[in-house]
Amino acid sequence: MSFECNLLISLLKLTQNGPVKQENVKTDAKLPSSVTSMLLKKLQNEQLIYVENDLIHVNAQDRIKLAVKAAELGADVERVGDVLSWQEFEAMAAVALEPNGYTTQTNVRFKHGGRRWEIDVVGCRKPLVLCIDCKRWRRGMHPSTIEKVAASQAERVAAFADSLPIAKMSLPCVKWDYANFVPVILSLVPFRGKFCDDIPIVPVLQLQDFVNQLPLYVESLRYFRRQFNHL
């Protein structure tokens, strides 16, 4: 793994609870002072970090960008996942969806059929509603486990589509004539199969490409159509 990857991982690990000293980052990344200074200056020029009085500051949104950058440079995605909170992993989905015109909400909770349900991330762009279940799986998951997760997500999304509109929830899709609710499983690591029962399993670093190409082949995926023109 490159020097820059090591530095990014150390930054993510050490800034989880606030600013960190440059010396601590250098020590954790096991890099020479000159290399550390050069890479930190580069990140500051890219406006991904802010350095003041020897303290490195990284805001919440830029932590997500640093994580994506580390993985794109070749850092092991499991290692990246270990230094991100659950909420930050979910935020990575919103980072990919919003530039593509999706309105997003996280931790969407609702009731249906006498049960409480939750969807990690919901993204709306007419006529699609992406319903994303974020999984921090490790490699080597058994196919039967993946099948159960896919079936549960399909059930969850069907219940969500049927439950709308919800008075306390503001989703743009309820104002459309209809919406196609697409179950998606987002994973930190890639899997051999890209689909399970026509439900896409998308590695987080491929989510941007998935979203870009989705309108071309959505009809081949499993989705739930809900008509709203009677509202």
pLDDT in tens, 115-147: 999 999 999 999 999 999 988 765 556 778 889
Of 61-75, 81-95, 143-157, 186-200, give the range with the top mean pLDDT: 143-157
Which CATH entry fits the domain spanning 3-84: 3.40.50.720, 1.10.10.10, 3.40.50.300, 3.40.47.10? 1.10.10.10
Domains 3-84 and 88-227 share a fold: no
Q: Report the percentage of the chain scoring pLDDT > 70.
A: 96
Arithmetic mean of pLDDT, 186-193? 76
What confidence score (pLDDT) does residue 96 get? 81
Arithmetic mean of pLDDT, 160-169? 90
What confidence score (pLDDT) does residue 86 get? 80
For residue 58, CA distances in Å to 28, 68, 83 come to 17, 14, 14
> 88-227 in CATH: which number?
3.40.1350
Domain ranges of the chain: 3-84, 88-227
pLDDT in tens, 79-103: 887 888 888 878 878 878 888 899 9
pLDDT over threshold 60, residue 231: no
Q: pTM value? A: 0.80
pLDDT in tens, 28-45: 999 999 999 999 999 999
